[in-house]
Amino acid sequence: MSAASGFGGEDRFVTAPLHGRHVYLRQVGPEDYRLLRTAELSSHLGVRWRHRGASLSPEQWAQRLWHSVLAQHLVIGHDDPNPIGLVSAYQANFQDGYAYLAAERLQQRVSPLMVFGVALFVQYVFTCWDFHKLYLEVAEYNAGRFRSGRLFETEARLREHLWYRGRRWDQLILALARHGWKRADAS
Domain of residue 150, residue span: 132-187
Looking at the structure, tell me whether residues 52 and 37 fall in a common domain.
Answer: yes
Looking at the structure, tell me whether residues 121 and 137 fall in a common domain.
Answer: no
Looking at the structure, tell me whether residues 31 and 60 fall in a common domain.
Answer: yes
Q: What is the pLDDT along the chain (187 residues), one digit of tens a residue?
A: 344 444 455 556 778 899 999 999 999 999 999 999 888 876 665 556 666 667 778 888 888 899 999 999 999 999 999 999 999 999 999 999 999 999 998 887 778 899 999 999 999 999 999 999 999 999 898 887 766 457 899 999 999 998 888 999 999 999 999 999 988 776 5
In a domain, 10, yes or no: no
Sequence-ordered list of residues with C-beta below 8 angstroms from that of 39, at least 6 positions apart, any chain? 45, 106
| Residue 42 amino acid letter | S
In a domain, 98, yes or no: yes
CATH number reported for the structural domain that contains residue 57 in this entry? 3.40.630.30
In a domain, 164, yes or no: yes
Considering only CA atoms, which of 145, 141, 162, 143 is closest in space to residue 154? Answer: 143
How many structural domains are present in the chain?
Answer: 2
* Start-to-end CA span in the chain (Å): 32
Q: Which of 97, 130, 163 is the last residue of a domain?
A: 130
Judged on CB neighbours under 10 Å (0-12, 13-18, 19+), 10 is exposed
Looking at the structure, tell me whether residues 42 and 66 fall in a common domain.
Answer: yes
Identify the H or E element spanning 20.
Answer: none
Q: What pTM does this model have?
A: 0.85
